[in-house]
Homo-oligomer: A and B are copies of this chain.
Amino acid sequence: MRILMTGAAGMVGRKLTARLLRDGQVAGRAITAFDLHDIVPPETPAAPGVAVAAHTGDLGEPNAAAALVKAKPDIVFHLAGIVSGEAESNFDLGYRVNFDGTRALFDAIRLAGHRPRVVYTSSIAVFGAPFPDVIHDDFQQTPLTSYGTQKLVGELILADYTRRDFFDGVGIRLPTIVVRPGKPNKAASGFFSGIIREPLAGMEAILPVSQSVVHTHASPRSAVNFLVHAAGLDGATIGPRRNITMPGVGVSVAEQIESLRRIAGADAVKLIKEVPDETVWKIVQNWPTRFDAKRAKALGFVAEANFDEIIHAYIEDEMQNKAVGNRQ
């Protein structure tokens, strides 16, 4: 079967690519062709028996999406997107990529007419404050960022196009993915990774918000597992509500720091400097806290059980085994 992945040069995209090529199959079918797309050239890992090709461009450009789906991929992973902080600071870019780009891709798939499985990464940013203590699956979506708005529009088109039988979509609302390897990105959530990653490397990290902030997290390893699981789900089991809030670990920043202390000691914790940032706080204060994610769990999605497991996943995947494709 043929796979198409957008956003393939991103952190999750690279890990998912490595995982799929190592598995050699997804949803029970052997992978024979793999198209990787991004705005910057994605790496093309060699894999026996798989035709891996890189494609570079802007999905919002006329005909870009149509060219990409011409080969009629059996599964499309749509990961491409402008992250939250950048979508907030650059209005035009966020709407062009996250809104127009997603619609262009979904329309190209509709017009290709072959009805593939489409796995779309949405985000818990589709929810907006005020929140109940625990957010249930039937809670309203009222985003308070342009990023959350754009992701939600993608969810809606995906659900409608699935209902109309243009394709078979599954949207997964990712919690904040930590611990991200490498350098900080422009996501407003970047510090959630930084306060673990930098101290583990003996470096100083900035905490721009209060330690009382509660938020939900899952590891990159879990994000990849979610995507692979979504690719193989039976559409009839999902039903018409095609966008699903993923499970995760709901913890305060203080609890994150206690995990770090247990795993890396008090000296590591001392490297975290609290430097309040009003811009980050304005975004983060409207973010959801905890989810029950019952539907996702019933559908077989599994995340870490606590924040210690999330830190251990980072140490195993990024510090002990530097390969991009980690064990699952």
Contact = CB atoms under 8 A, between A and B. Distances in A.
Interface of A: 91, 128, 132, 137-144, 146, 149, 152-153, 156-157, 159-160, 163-164, 240-241, 243
A146 B128 contact: no
B153 A156 contact: yes
A144 B163 contact: yes
Copies of this chain present: 2
A119 to B, nearest CB: 18
Given A139-B140, A141-B141, A240-B142, A157 B164 contact: no
A270 B142 CA distance: 46
B142 A140 contact: no
B149 A160 contact: yes
Nearest to A107: B95
A149 B140 contact: no
Contact of A144 (B143, B152, B153, B240): B240
A142 B159 contact: yes
Contacts of A152: 156
Contact of A146 (B139, B146, B160): B160
Given A128-B240, A153-B153, A153-B156, A141 B140 contact: yes
Contacts of A138: 132, 139-140
> Top 10 A-B pairs ranked by shortest CB distance?
A149-B160, A138-B140, A142-B241, A149-B156, A140-B140, A153-B153, A146-B160, A152-B156, A153-B156, A144-B240
Contacts of A132: 138
Nearest to A137: B140
5 contacts: A91-B164, A137-B140, A138-B140, A142-B241, A149-B160
A143 B140 CA distance: 12
A160 B141 CA distance: 13
Given A128-B240, A139-B139, 19 more contacts: A128-B241, A132-B138, A137-B140, A138-B139, A138-B140, A139-B140, A140-B141, A141-B141, A142-B159, A142-B241, A142-B243, A143-B159, A143-B160, A144-B163, A144-B240, A146-B160, A149-B157, A149-B159, A149-B160
